[in-house]
Structure 1
Amino acid sequence: MISPPKSIRWLFCLVLGLAGVFPAPASSAAATEPLVLGSGDSYYIAGHMEVLKDPSENLEFRDALAAFERGDFQPMDGNLNAGYGRAAYWIHFSMIRQKGFPEKAMLSLSPSYTNSVKVYVQCHGQSPLLPSSFRPVMLGSDVPVAQRPVLNPNFIVPLELPADEPVDVFVRVYSKGSISLTGVLATPESIRNSTYNSIMLQFGYLGIAAVLCVMNLIFFISIRDRLFLYFALYVLTVLINNFGVAGMQALILPAYAHVLSDYMVYMGIGAQLLVFSEFCHNLFRDSAGPWTLRYMRLMSATGVLTIVSVPFGLYASVVPFALVGTVILIAMLLLTSKKLLVSMPQSGIFITIAFGISTLGYFYQIFRLIGVFPLEPGWDINMIEPATLVHMVLISIALSERFRITERQLGEASREAEKRAKEIADDMTSELRDNKERLEVALAAEQVSAEMQNSFLSMLSHEYRTPLAVIQGNLDILEMHSREYLTSDESSALMKMRRAVMRLVEIMDVSLERSRILDTKVPTVFKTIILRDFVRQQVDAIKWMYPAQSFFVAAPMLALAMSGDLPLLNTALFNLLDNARKYSIPGTMIEVYCRQIDEGVLISVCNESDMLNEGEIDELFEKYTRGRKTNNTSGAGIGLWLVRKIVEQHGGTVRMYWVKGEKVTVSMTIPSFTIDAAG
C-alpha cells in the first residue's frame, strides 16, 4: 500500500487546524474615540468602532442599545473581521462634524456581499438612549436594490450631520459567509468618484477576462485540447465571482441582484474551485505525483460540496476547508510547476510565476476571510482579483505557447500524413495501372475464347442436327409403316422417343444454335404463353423421361397468360423440375403449384431433400456452384444460374426457401395478364 508523503500529511493537518479557526474580533481595553470629520473628503471608521457579538442572532435594536448602556460593547482595533461563524454582530461608532466638513455626507459600508446590514442613525436633537431616536436603514445583499436609498455597488446611507454635535450609529451585521465590515464617511463627490473608479476597474477587469476567455475557447475549438476549455471556464467563474463580490450585479441587473448575489459569490467560489482543480489536473497530469493528482480530485469534490452547501445553509461550515485547501493546492502546484521549467522551459516559467503570485494573493485573502489576518483600513479590496488577473494573463501566455507548439506539431503531422497519402496514392496508381493492363489482357483473351466458343457451338449445332434429323425421319417412317402392328406399350415407347428427339431439338435451338441466354446482343422473341398448358407440357415431358418419379400439379383455374420466350421459359421450368428430381429423397413426391400474385404468376416447385446446408441457399444461384452434399449427383452447377438468368430477362425473380426439417421450395415469378380464352 502506498502511503502519502510527509509533506502531504502536514498540509492536511494545517487544513484541519486553520479551518476551525473562527477568532473573535480583536479587543482593546482603551475606549474608542468619536470620529472627527474635519476638512478631508473621506474618513475610515476603523479604530472608532465598538462590537457586540450576538450568537443567538435574535438580538433586537432595543436590546443592543440596552447592552451599550451597560457597557457590553467592546472596543475594536481596525475593522470587523470575524471570519466564518454562525453569529450576528452589532457595531457602534459615533462621529462629530466640524465646520470644514459638509453637512450632507454619506456612509459607505462594505463588503457588498454581506447578506444583512441594518443601520440605525441618531436623529438630530434626539436622545441617544431611546430606540425611537434612531432612523433605521435596511441594507444588505438580500434587500432588493429598489429599497436602497442610493443605487451603488456598496451600501450607502445618506446623512445630514449637525456641526459640533456627536451622532451615534449602530449597525447590525450578519452574513452567510465571511462576516466582515469596513466603512467610510465621505462627501457625496468623494463617493461618486470612488464608485466611478470602482466601476471602471471592474469593467476593465471584465474586458481582460472576456478576451482571455474567448481566446482560450478559440484555442479549444482549433485543437480540441480540453485544457483550454477548462481554463476558459475558470476565467468565466472568476469573473462572475468577482463581479458578485464587488456588487456589480446591483448596477447590471438591479431587479434580480438580491436573488443572484449568493449564487455569484458563494456558489461562485465552489464552481471556481471545481473548474480550477480540473484545469490543474489536466495541466500537471504528466508531471505531478499520484498523491498530488489525488489531492486535485479531492479539491474538485470539495468544490462540488461547496456549491451544494449553499442552498442547505451549510456554506459557512464547508467553505473554510475549501479556502484553506485552495491555498495548499496552489502551494503544491507552485512546487510542481518547477518540473515544467525543465520539460517546458518557455511556458514553464510563466506557469511558475503565475502560481507564485496566486499563492500570495490567495494566502492573504483567504486567511483574511477566515479571520486570521486583520482587515486594515484601505485594504478592504478583494486581493484575489488582482492576483487572479495576473495569474490568468500569465497562464494564458503559457497556454498560447502550448497552442503554438501543438499547432506546429499538428502542421508537421499534417505534412507527414500528406506525404504518406501521396506515397500511398502513387502506389495505388501503379497497382491500378498494372491491374488495368492485366484486365485488358484477360478481356482480350476472353473475347478470343468467346469467339472460339461461338464458332465451336455453330459447328456442333450443324453437325448435331444431321443425326437428329435422321432419327426423326426414321421414327416417322417406323410409325407410318408399323402403326397397325404396334401394341399400346410399343406405341407409348415410340411416342416417348419422338418427344425425346423434340426435346433435344429444342435444347439445341436454345443452347447451341443461338446461345442467346449468354449473348445479350441477340434479341429475345416474346410470345403469348398460356400458363396452364405451359406447366403441364413440361411436367409431362419429365414424367415421360423419368416415369418412376411422382409429381403433383395444382394447375390454376383461371386462364392466365404470360408474355415470354417459350423455349427459354421451357428450359427454366424443366431445369427446376429436373433439379427437384435429382436431389429429392427417393420415393417422395415433387409438388408444382401455380397461382396469381400482385407481381404476376408464381410457379413453385417443392421437394423433400437432405442435401442442403444452412447458409448456402443464396450461393446455389451462382455459376458453377453446387451444394456441399451433392458430390455423388451429376451436374455442372449451372442449372439454377441459368434459371435466374432466364427469369431476369423476363423481368421476374426467382427465390429458394428452406427451413431444416421442411420441404425445399424454389419459386419463380413472371409478369402475367388475364385473357378471355376458355380454359
Structure 2
Amino acid sequence: MRYYRATLLLLAWLLCPLLTQAQALLLNPDVPMLETAGQWQRLDDAAGLLDAGQADVAPGWQPLPGHLNASFTQAAVWLRMPLQVEQPGSWMLLLGNALLDEVEVHVRRSGGPWQLLGRSGEEVPRHAWPVDYRSPAFQFEPPAAGSYELLVRLRARNALVTRIDLWQRLAFDNHTRREALSFGLYFGLYLLLIGVQLVFWLGTRAPLSGLFLAYLSVCVLNEVVSLGLVQQLTGLPGFWSDRLLGCGIAAALAISMQLACRQLDLASLYPRLVRQIVPLLWLFSLCCMLLVVSGHYAAGMVPVQAMTLPLTLGFLAFALWLWRRGHAPARFFMLAFGIFYAGVLISFLRNLGWLPMNALTALVSTHASALGTMAHMLLLSGWIIGGYEHRRRVREREQVLLEAELVQRQLRESELSEALVLERRVRQEQRDFVAMVSHELRTPLAIILTSAQQLARNLAAPPDKTLARSRNIREAAQRLLALVDDCLADDRMADPQPHAEPRLQPCDLHALVDGLCLDFAPGRVVCHLGGGTQQLITDAGLLRIALRNLLANADRHTPEGESVRLDVTRQGEGLEIQVSNPSEPIAQADQDQLFERYYRGRNAQHRPGAGLGLYLVRRIAERLGGSVALLTAGGEQPVCLRLVLPVARA
C-alpha cells in the first residue's frame, strides 16, 4: 500500500501543471531565479510562416503545462507568457537547450506593439547572439513597472525540449561563473581519464582498452556538443554540430552495447547470439548515421533513441537474471551500467515526448545523468585496467610456472640423456669386458688344457719337458688369478657401501715388494728401497694389487733382456713409488686415456691384458688418499709411472 501511495503522489506531482492556468508571472527583484514552468501558452506553426503579430492573434493557443517538450518536430512553436514587473531591472531569459536552431524573442507592454528582443540559435552566427553563452539567452530590461508579454518562437532539428527560466542579471553572471568552474572540473577529469586510457592503450594495445577509449571519447564529444560548449568556443554552425552529434549518438549505441556484451562475458555464454547481435547493431547505427549526414536528422535520431530503450531495459533485465543465477560479471554490470542506463532512458523518453519536461526529469537528465555517466566511465576504466593487470599477473605466474616446468623438463631430459649415455657406456663396457674376459680366459685356459693333455699322453716324458709344461700351467694359472683379482678389485672400487672402504692397517712395504718380485723372472725387476719407506698405514690388499699391476704393465712392455726398475723414496709425510721401464713412446692420444677403464693403447694391442690394470691403479690410489701420474712417455727416456701414497692416513 505504501508503494501505491508513493506512485500516486508522484503522478499527481507530474500532472499537477495540467490543472493550472497560466497567470502573469511576477518579476520579484528579491528572487534571483524564476522558473517559468506552467506560465506559458503554446501555439504550433506547422508551416513556420507566421510572424509575431500573426502568431499573437492566431487561434489554437493552449496552456503549456511544465516546460516545453515538442519532441522531434518540423513545426515552429510559439510560446507566450504575461509578466508583471514591480520595478525596473535587468533580467536574463535563459533557454536550457543549446541545440535549438532558431530562437526569436519578442516583448511588448500591455496593449503595445511587439518589439524584437533578439535572435539566437545554431542557425544564427555566434557573433550575432545577443548574449555570449552556450545556449540561447536574452537580456530583458523593462523600463518601467507594469504588465508585459513575452513571445518566443522556436525551431530545432533536434528534440524541441527545453526549460525557460528568468534570472536576475547579477545572479545569472554568478551562475555562469559557477557553471564554467564546474564544467572545467568535470571535463578536466574526463580529459585526464582519456589521457590515462590513451597511455594505457598505447602501452598494451589491448583491444578492450581501445574499444573503451573510443566509447569514452564519443560519449564526451556527445556531451560537450549537446551542452553547446564546442559551438560556443569554436563557432561551429548547426549544419556540422547536428551531424557530429547525431553520428556520435548512433556510434555510442553500437559501442556501448558491444562493451556491455564484453563486460557481461556473453561471448562465453551465448557465442552465436553475440556474433549476430553486434554486427546487426553496427549496421543499424551506420544506417542511422547515413540518414543524419544526408540531412534527415529526425529520421536518423528517432530510431536510435527508440532502439536504445528496449536494448537498455533488456540488458538490465538480463543482467539481473544472470546475477540471480550467480554469474559474477552481472553484479558489476548492475553497478556500472545501472545508473547510467537510467539517465539515458529518462533523457530519451523525454526527447521522444513520452515523459514531460519538468524539474524531476530535468534533474535526472542533467545533473544525475552527468554524475552517473562519470561514475560509469570511472568504474569501467578501473575494471579494464584492473582486469588487464590481473590477467597480466596471471600470465606472469603461468609464465613462471611454465619456465619452471621447462627447466624441470630440461633437467629431466639432461638426466635422461646422461642416463642414456651412461647406459650405453655401461653396455659398451660390458661388451668390452665380455670380449676381454673371453680372450683373457681362453688363452691361459688353452695353455693349461694343452699342457695337461701333453702330460697325460706322455707320462714317461723327460723331466725337463715335464717341468716346462708344469711351469706353463703355473704361469697360466697365475695369469687367471691376476685377472680374477683385478675383476674383484674393480668391483670393490665401484661399490659405494661402507664395507667397501679401505681396511687400513700397518703394512711392511719391503716385504710386500719382495713378494711381488718373486712372481717375475730373477733379475727382471730391480728394486731400490729408500730409507724410512718400510712401514706405512694402508690397505695392504689394495696396495699389492696396485703395485702388481704397475709391475705387470711394465713387464709386458719391456723388451727381453731389459729390466723393470722400482724406486721407493720418502717425501715428507708420503711415499713416492716410481716404476720405469724402457719402451716404445706412448702416443699423446693414448696418454690422455691411459688410466681409463678397459682402454688399451696402440702399444698394447698385441700383448695380453684386460685394460683394467692402470685403471685400478688410479682408483686404488684415490681410495688410499694418493695419486698416480705418467712422468715420462718413453722413447729416449723410459716410461715412468709415479704412485704417491701417504705414510699414515688421518
Which category describes the TM-score, using the shorter chain as reference length?
0.5 to 0.7
**Alignment counterpart, residue 253 of structure 2, candidates 256, 263, 273:** 273
Does residue 323 of structure 1 match 2:305?
yes
Does residue 120 of structure 1 match 2:120?
no
Report the counterpart of residue 54 of structure 1 in structure 2.
45
C-alpha deviation, 1:194, in angstroms: 1.9
Letter in 2 for 1:75: P
Letter in 2 for 1:354: A
In 1, Cα distance between the equivalents of 2:68 and 2:204? Answer: 49
In 1, Cα distance between the equivalents of 2:262 and 2:310? Answer: 18
* 2:90/2:139 contact within 8 Å kept: yes
Report the counterpart of residue 406 of structure 1 in structure 2.
391
C-alpha deviation, 1:288, in angstroms: 4.6
Report the counterpart of residue 241 of structure 2 in structure 1.
261
Report the counterpart of residue 26 of structure 2 in structure 1.
36
C-alpha deviation, 1:98, in angstroms: 1.3
Does residue 166 of structure 1 match 2:151?
no
In 1, Cα distance between the equivalents of 2:394 and 2:315? Answer: 27
In 2, Cα distance between the equivalents of 1:218 and 1:418? Answer: 30
**Alignment counterpart, residue 165 of structure 2, candidates 181, 184, 188:** 184
Q: Counterpart of 2:293 in 1: which secondary structure?
A: coil
Report the counterpart of residue 81 of structure 1 in structure 2.
69
In 1, Cα distance between the equivalents of 2:330 and 2:324? Answer: 5
Q: How does 1:289-368 map to 2 (within 5 A)?
A: 290-291=272-273, 294-338=276-320, 339=322, 345=328, 348-368=330-350
Letter in 2 for 1:194: H
Report the counterpart of residue 175 of structure 1 in structure 2.
156
Report the counterpart of residue 244 of structure 1 in structure 2.
225
Deviations 1:569-589 (A, max 9, x none): xxxxxxxxxxxxxxxxxxxxx
In 1, Cα distance between the equivalents of 2:157 and 2:294? Answer: 11
Does residue 64 of structure 1 match 2:55?
yes
In 2, Cα distance between the equivalents of 1:293 and 1:118? Answer: 50
Q: How does 1:81-230 map to 2 (within 5 A)?
A: 81-99=69-87, 103-122=89-108, 127-128=111-112, 130=113, 133-230=114-211
Residues 64/170 of structure 1: CA separation in 2 closer, same or farther (3 Å cut): same
In 2, Cα distance between the equivalents of 1:294 and 1:365? Answer: 28
In 1, Cα distance between the equivalents of 2:51 and 2:43? Answer: 12
Residues 84/425 of structure 1: CA separation in 2 closer, same or farther (3 Å cut): same
C-alpha deviation, 1:214, in angstroms: 3.2
Deviations 1:174-207 (A, max 9, x none): 1111012311111112112222232233232213
Report the counterpart of residue 357 of structure 2 in structure 1.
375
Unaligned 5+ segments in structure 1 are 1-24, 435-679
Q: Counterpart of 1:89 in 2: which secondary structure?
A: strand
RMSD (CA atoms): 3.3
* 1:83/1:369 contact within 8 Å kept: yes
Deviations 1:427-475 (A, max 9, x none): 99999999xxxxxxxxxxxxxxxxxxxxxxxxxxxxxxxxxxxxxxxxx
The number of aligned residues is 401
Letter in 1 for 2:103: V
C-alpha deviation, 1:292, in angstroms: 6.2
In 2, Cα distance between the equivalents of 1:256 and 1:314? Answer: 19
In 2, Cα distance between the equivalents of 1:226 and 1:296? Answer: 16
Between the aligned residues of both structures, percent identity stands at: 20
In 1, Cα distance between the equivalents of 2:195 and 2:337? Answer: 22
Letter in 2 for 1:307: M
C-alpha deviation, 1:81, in angstroms: 0.2
C-alpha deviation, 1:28, in angstroms: 5.6
C-alpha deviation, 1:279, in angstroms: 2.1
Q: Counterpart of 1:168 in 2: which secondary structure?
A: strand
Letter in 2 for 1:314: H
Does residue 415 of structure 1 match 2:397?
no
C-alpha deviation, 1:330, in angstroms: 2.0
* 2:117/2:138 contact within 8 Å kept: no
In 2, Cα distance between the equivalents of 1:318 and 1:305? Answer: 8
C-alpha deviation, 1:152, in angstroms: 0.9
Letter in 2 for 1:368: R
C-alpha deviation, 1:30, in angstroms: 6.4
Q: How does 1:510-659 map to 2 (within 5 A)?
A: none
In 2, Cα distance between the equivalents of 1:196 and 1:304? Answer: 39
TM-score scaled by length of structure 2:
0.56
In 1, Cα distance between the equivalents of 2:285 and 2:16? Answer: 31
Residues 196/58 of structure 1: CA separation in 2 closer, same or farther (3 Å cut): same
Letter in 2 for 1:118: E
C-alpha deviation, 1:298, in angstroms: 3.1
* 1:105/1:188 contact within 8 Å kept: yes
Report the counterpart of residue 285 of structure 1 in structure 2.
267
Bigger CA radius of gyration: 2
Letter in 2 for 1:210: L
Q: How does 1:447-526 map to 2 (within 5 A)?
A: none
In 2, Cα distance between the equivalents of 1:379 and 1:193? Answer: 24
In 2, Cα distance between the equivalents of 1:341 and 1:421? Answer: 43
* 1:280/1:296 contact within 8 Å kept: no
Deviations 1:334-387 (A, max 9, x none): 234353787773x64222222221232122111011111111147535444333
Residues 57/410 of structure 1: CA separation in 2 closer, same or farther (3 Å cut): farther
In 2, Cα distance between the equivalents of 1:335 and 1:195? Answer: 40
Unaligned 5+ segments in structure 2 are 1-14, 420-650
In 2, Cα distance between the equivalents of 1:421 and 1:292? Answer: 38
